[in-house]
């Protein structure tokens, strides 16, 4: 018998069955169901979110991330306001609907300065603006919403609070018991942001069981965007150096390409209307077909990189990133050609979450 695939109805037992399924023939049933639910609910359009990595200063010590505080092997940078606005203009010229401004968690990115950047992008391009600047205080988030920001992306990484507190040590004054990010996600909703979150797959210590809970949490959080990427070891981090022990193989989620497709497909079934990217981390595992297969198994978004190459190489959250040396124009041309091959089209407009389907 094949497992349950009804959209919006999957329970934990059915999710767990799929997460541990290895039979390729059976998995085709999952890929097909996710593709159909994607087509019915968000259509054939693929939305382009141009990623601008505005700085790599960070005051956190995430055990997995290459731009963590204290990594002396990278040179730090912050882009200037005019450099960021120029990238956004390029996004508009290429026909993208959204720019995503991402950085380390950097108090040097001040509330007022950032608000000015957002206002200028909105005034000069009208593009949707997504922020991904880590955990910031409510007053910052409120000011940036007033300045015109539309969306915020903050992955909760894993819903297993015990594992999370180990891989993402709390900031001074914070409790190790709670995933601060879940609290901030609800603040973002309150402020009227479209809210994105997500997880890494294959963190040493991450169980299939907790992963099934993560999928159910996507639904509880009513996420507008869900980013799912494999964990990729960075040698200059405690996790990449092997300080975190995996669970026994029957319990440990692998950081594999196949696992990523399974979770993308299940996320589509659990949250039919959400925007789900085929992530760069996935394309890093399979440079030839990763994005296309992600798009064929539930995803409807891509995030081409717009960061000027001189900065891009310094934004190394993990090594070997796909398309690291490409110009923005080359990324656009490559992705458009890939879409044509798989019979999909570039989305027009901002491509926000459409709750009613297509
Ligand atoms: N400081 C911000 C944004 C930068 S990191 C924040 O923490 O939200 C953006 C995303 O990159 C993270 O959410 C994480 O999921 C991913 N990432 C970081 N290190 C990674 C690694 N080693 N492998 C895979 N993904 C990683």
81-129 pLDDT, tens digit per residue, is 999 999 999 999 999 999 999 999 999 999 999 999 999 999 999 999 9
3-class SS of residue 99: strand
Q: Closest residue (by CA) to atom 24 of ligand 1?
A: 231
Query: Looking at residue 168, what is its pLDDT?
Result: 93
pLDDT at 349: 85
For the CA of 155, the closest atom of ligand 1 is 13
Give the integer Cα–Cα distance in Å for 194 and 153: 9
| Tokens describing residue 256 | 């594999």
- Cα gap 234→247, rounded to integer Å: 20
Output the pLDDT for position 16: 97
Say how many Å lie between the CA of residue 103 and the centre of ligand 1: 10
pLDDT at 340 over 70: yes
Please determine, for residue 7, whether its predicted confidence score (pLDDT) is greater than 90: no
Closest CA to 298 of 332, 274, 281, 334: 274
Using DSSP, state whether 115 is helix, strand or coil.
helix
Helix, strand, coil percent values for the chain (each to nearest 5): 40, 15, 45
Express each pLDDT in 157-208 by its tens digit.
999 999 999 999 888 778 777 789 999 999 999 999 999 999 999 999 999 9
Higher pLDDT, 116 or 6: 116
65 CA to centre of ligand 1 in angstroms: 6
Q: Which residues contact 216 (CB under 8 A, 6 or more apart)?
A: 12, 15, 270
- Whole-angstrom distance, CA of residue 143 vs CA of residue 140: 5
Share of the chain above pLDDT 70, in %: 99
Residues 335, 304: contact at Cβ < 8 Å?
yes
What are the structure tokens assigned to 288, written together? 């030839």
Global confidence as pTM: 0.97
Give the Å distance between the CA of 216 and the centre of ligand 1: 21
The answer to whether the CB of 299 falls within 8 A of the CB of 249 is: no
pLDDT band at 324; cut points 50, 70, 90: confident
Concatenating the DSSP letter of every residue in 268-280 gives HHHSTTSB-B--H
Structure tokens at 28: 């085709």
Ligand 1 geometric centre to CA of 102 (Å): 10
CA–centroid distance, residue 272 to ligand 1 (Å): 24
State the Cα–Cα distance between residues 273 and 150, nearest whole angstrom.
Answer: 18
Q: Give ligand 1 pocket residues (Cβ under 6 A).
A: 64-65, 102, 104-105, 132, 134, 154-155, 157, 200, 229, 231-232, 234, 281, 317-318
């Amino acid at each position: 018998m094949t497992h349950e695939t009804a959209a919006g109805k999957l329970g934990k037992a059915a999710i767990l069955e799929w997460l541990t399924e290895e039979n390729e023939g059976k998995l085709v049933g999952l890929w097909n169901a996710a593709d159909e639910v994607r087509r019915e609910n968000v259509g054939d359009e693929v939305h382009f979110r141009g990623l601008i990595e505005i700085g790599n200063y960070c005051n956190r010590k995430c055990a997995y991330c290459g731009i963590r505080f204290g990594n002396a092997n990278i040179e730090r940078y912050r882009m200037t306001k005019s450099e960021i606005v120029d990238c956004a203009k390029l996004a508009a010229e290429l026909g993208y609907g959204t720019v995503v401004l991402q950085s380390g968690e950097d108090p040097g990115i001040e509330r007022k300065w950032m608000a000015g950047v957002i206002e200028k992008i909105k005034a000069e391009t009208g593009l949707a603006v997504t922020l991904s600047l880590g955990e910031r205080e409510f007053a910052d988030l409120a000011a940036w919403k007033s300045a015109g920001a539309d969306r915020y992306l903050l992955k909760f990484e894993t819903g297993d609070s015990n594992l999370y507190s180990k891989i993402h040590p709390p900031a001074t004054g914070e409790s190790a018991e709670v995933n601060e990010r879940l609290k901030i996600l609800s603040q973002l909703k309150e402020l009227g942001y479209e809210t994105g979150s997500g997880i890494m797959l294959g963190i040493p210590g991450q169980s299939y069981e907790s992963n099934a809970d993560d999928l159910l949490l996507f639904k509880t959080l009513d996420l507008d965007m869900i980013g799912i990427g494999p964990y990729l070891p960075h040698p200059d981090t405690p996790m990449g150096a092997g300080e975190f022990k995996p669970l026994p193989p029957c319990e440990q989620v692998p950081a594999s390409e196949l696992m990523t497709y399974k979770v993308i497909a299940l996320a589509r079934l659990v949250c039919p209307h959400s925007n789900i990217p085929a992530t760069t981390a996935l394309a890093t595992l399979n440079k030839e077909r990763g994005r296309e297969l992600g798009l064929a198994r539930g995803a409807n978004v891509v995030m081409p990189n717009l960061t000027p190459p001189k900065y891009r190489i310094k934004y190394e959250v993990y090594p070997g990133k796909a398309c690291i040396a490409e110009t923005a124009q080359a990324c656009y041309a490559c992705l458009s050609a890939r879409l044509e091959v798989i019979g999909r089209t570039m989305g027009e407009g901002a491509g926000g979450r459409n709750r009613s389907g297509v």
